[in-house]
Amino acid sequence: MAARNDSSSLAAPAAGGGSAPATVPVLDRAAMLEIVEQDLELLRELVEIFLAECPGLLAQIRSGVQDKNAEHVERSAHTLKGALMNFGAQRACEVARQLEIRGREARLDDAAQLASQLESEVAQACQALSDYLREAVP
Amino acid sequence: MNILVADDDRVQSRLLEKHLAARGFKVQVAFDAASAWEKLAKVRPDAILLDLQMPGGTGLGFLKKRNASPSHRNIPVIVITATEDPLVLRMAEQSGVTSVMPKPVNLMLLDVTLESVRSSMSPKPAMSPGE
Q: Which among A31, A49, A78 is the nearest to B11, CB-wise?
A: A49
Q: What is the pLDDT of residue A21?
A: 62
Q: What type of residue sits at position B130?
A: G
Q: State in Å, rounded, how far the first CA of chain B is from the last one.
A: 21
**B47 in a domain, yes or no?**
yes
d(CA B95, CA B3): 19
Range A28-136: architecture per CATH:
Up-down Bundle (1.20)
Total domains in chain B come to 1
- Report d(CA A15, CA A19) in Å as an integer: 9
Rg of chain A taking only CA atoms, in angstroms: 15
Does some domain include residue B92? yes
pTM of the model: 0.84
pLDDT, one tens digit per residue, over B20-46 is 999 999 999 999 999 999 999 888 899
Element (H, E) at B6: strand B2-6
Mutate which: A28, A32, A33, A35, vs B, most B CBs within 10 A? A35
Where are the extended beta strands (E) located within chain A? 9-11, 25-28
C-beta of residue A32 within 8 angstroms of C-beta of residue A87: yes
Per the structure, the complete domain to which residue B22 belongs is given by 2-119
Does the pLDDT at position B82 exceed 50? yes
Residues B11, B19: Cα–Cα separation, whole Å:
12
Nearest to B8 among A37, A52, A79 (CB): A79
Residue B119 C-alpha, separation from nearest chain A C-alpha, in angstroms: 25
Backbone angles phi, psi at B6, to 5 degrees: -115, 105
Is residue B36 included in any domain, yes or no? yes
To the nearest 10°, report the CA torsion of B113, A53, B31, A2: -30
Do residues A105 and B85 make contact, with C-beta atoms less than 8 angstroms apart? no
Amino acid (1-letter code) at residue A5: N
Q: What is chain A's pLDDT, residue by residue, as a tens digit (138 residues)? A: 555 444 345 554 444 444 566 677 899 999 999 999 899 999 999 999 999 999 999 999 999 999 999 999 999 999 999 999 999 999 999 999 999 999 999 999 999 999 999 999 999 999 999 999 888 876
Q: Give the pLDDT confidence score for residue B58 in this predicted structure.
A: 86
Q: Please list the helix, strand and coil fractions of chain A in percent, rounded to the nearest 5, in that order.
A: 65, 5, 30
Q: How many residues does chain A have?
A: 138
Distances in Å between the Cα of B29 and the Cα atoms of A3, A79, B8 are 27, 16, 9
Is B68 within the bounds of a domain? Answer: yes
Q: Is residue B129 part of a domain?
A: no
**Residue B86 near residue B61 (C-beta atoms within 8 A):** no
Inter-chain residue contact A82 with B82, CB threshold 8 Å: yes
Question: Which of the 8 DSSP states describes residue B125?
Answer: P
Q: Residues of A with CB below 8 A from B9's CB?
A: 79, 82-83
Where does the pLDDT of residue B93 fall: very low under 50, low under 70, confident under 90, or very high at 90 and above? very high
pLDDT of residue A16: 40
- Give the domain CATH number at B101: 3.40.50.2300
Please give the pLDDT value at position A135: 87
Cβ contact B109:B101 at 8 Å: yes
The number of C-alpha atoms within 13 Å of B126 and in the hemisphere containing its C-beta is: 2
Mean pLDDT of chain B, nearest integer? 90
